[in-house]
Amino acid sequence: MLKKILKWTGIVVGCFVLLLIVFYGIVYVKTEAGINKVYDVKLQTLTIPDDSASYAVGRHIAEIRGCLGCHGENLATGEVFADESSPIGILQASNITSGKGGIQYTDQDWIRALRHGLGKDNKPLWFMPSHEICGLSNQDMAALISYVKKQPPVDKTVPQKSLKPLGRVLTFMGEFPLLAAEKIDHTATYVDDVKLTVSADYGKYLAVTCQGCHTANFKGAASHSPEEPPIPDISSTGKLGKWSQEGFVKLFHTGITPEGRVLSKYMPVKSFTYSDDELKAVYLYLHQVK
């Protein structure tokens, strides 16, 4: 009897291990296919300005769209998303200056990266949220490129990126946003300009960036790590729905919610240089998101 139990236990365990091997084999093949897919895209032609006013606009866009938050104030000392100790893999924001360890991009290379989430080889960039940036108006995109092109070169080499099995499984399951190129409409066209107005429409234009953390429907998510708090619902059904416009704007100046709660360092509101009118527009938009 014991031998029969052990025999069937071995069979069950063996089948389970075999299924895991087959599953991971599928995961590996699928993720490799996504990582190495070569996209055939028609690159837009933009005239990149060289004046100081456009540079200032470009810096503002880089601040509020999260470019500096990820790549660092100098666009070289980027955030470490996962290091050698991480079960996901090794991921660090790139040095996007022209220094040693950085990149040598033409205007078209910048358009390819920002509009399509692709590198110079037309393969997807890793963990680059181009799907949140590609919708910029032509004028805003040109100003952003003008700004990043003019940054002083910084010598900084980041570790080679890699994915561990857990990272591949999460990517396969859609739980880890590794390849933004898969989310982008590569045939889309874009408006020349979006004028700043205190309106929900302009707020929607800006609030795309919020989706990176607060999710596509702005309903929040679980914390990314044990030390982080849960990511809150910032739609009209969350606490924001009870705030006044004045309280929302004040939060970005003080880091304190209308209820008197100090926001954690994981929501560095003071680093976002939104104008009051931009914040009012975002408020109007989020208040209509059900």
Q: pLDDT tens digit string along 30-66?
A: 999 999 999 999 999 999 999 999 999 999 999 999 8
Q: What span, in angstroms and rounded, lies between the C-alpha atoms of 222 and 271?
A: 23
Residue 94 one-letter amino acid? S
* Neighbouring-strand partners of residue 99: none
Q: What dihedral do alpha carbons 4, 7, 12, 16 form, nearest 10°? A: 170
Q: Is 221 helix (H, G, I), strand (E, B) or coil?
A: strand
Give me the sheet containing 89-92, strands edge to edge.
Answer: 80-82, 89-92, 162-163
Q: Tell me the domain boundaries of the chain.
A: 52-183, 200-286
N-term to C-term CA, the chain: 61
Extended strands (E) in 51-131 = 80-82, 89-92
**In terms of Cα–Cα distance, which of 212, 258, 266 is closest to 239?**
258
- State pLDDT tens for residues 77-96: 888 888 888 999 999 999 99
What is the average per-residue pLDDT within 119-142?
96
- State pLDDT tens for residues 162-178: 999 999 999 999 888 89
Q: Which two tokens stand for residue 191?
A: 């408006």
User: In this structure, which topology does domain 200-286 adopt according to CATH?
Assistant: Cytochrome Bc1 Complex; Chain D, domain 2 (1.10.760)
Q: Which two tokens stand for residue 180?
A: 């933004």
Q: What span, in angstroms and rounded, lies between the C-alpha atoms of 112 and 43?
A: 7
- State pLDDT tens for residues 226-272: 667 888 999 999 998 999 999 999 999 999 999 999 988 888 787 78
Q: What span, in angstroms and rounded, lies between the C-alpha atoms of 99 and 97?
A: 6
Q: How sure is the predictor about 137, in pLDDT bands with cuts at 50, 70 and 90?
A: very high
Mean confidence (pLDDT) of the chain = 91
Q: What span, in angstroms and rounded, lies between the C-alpha atoms of 219 and 151?
A: 36
Helix %, strand %, coil % for the chain, to 5? Answer: 45, 5, 50
Backbone CA torsion sign across 211, 125, 20, 88: negative
pLDDT, residue 158, reads 92
Q: What span, in angstroms and rounded, lies between the C-alpha atoms of 250 and 260?
A: 11
Q: What span, in angstroms and rounded, lies between the C-alpha atoms of 232 and 213?
A: 9
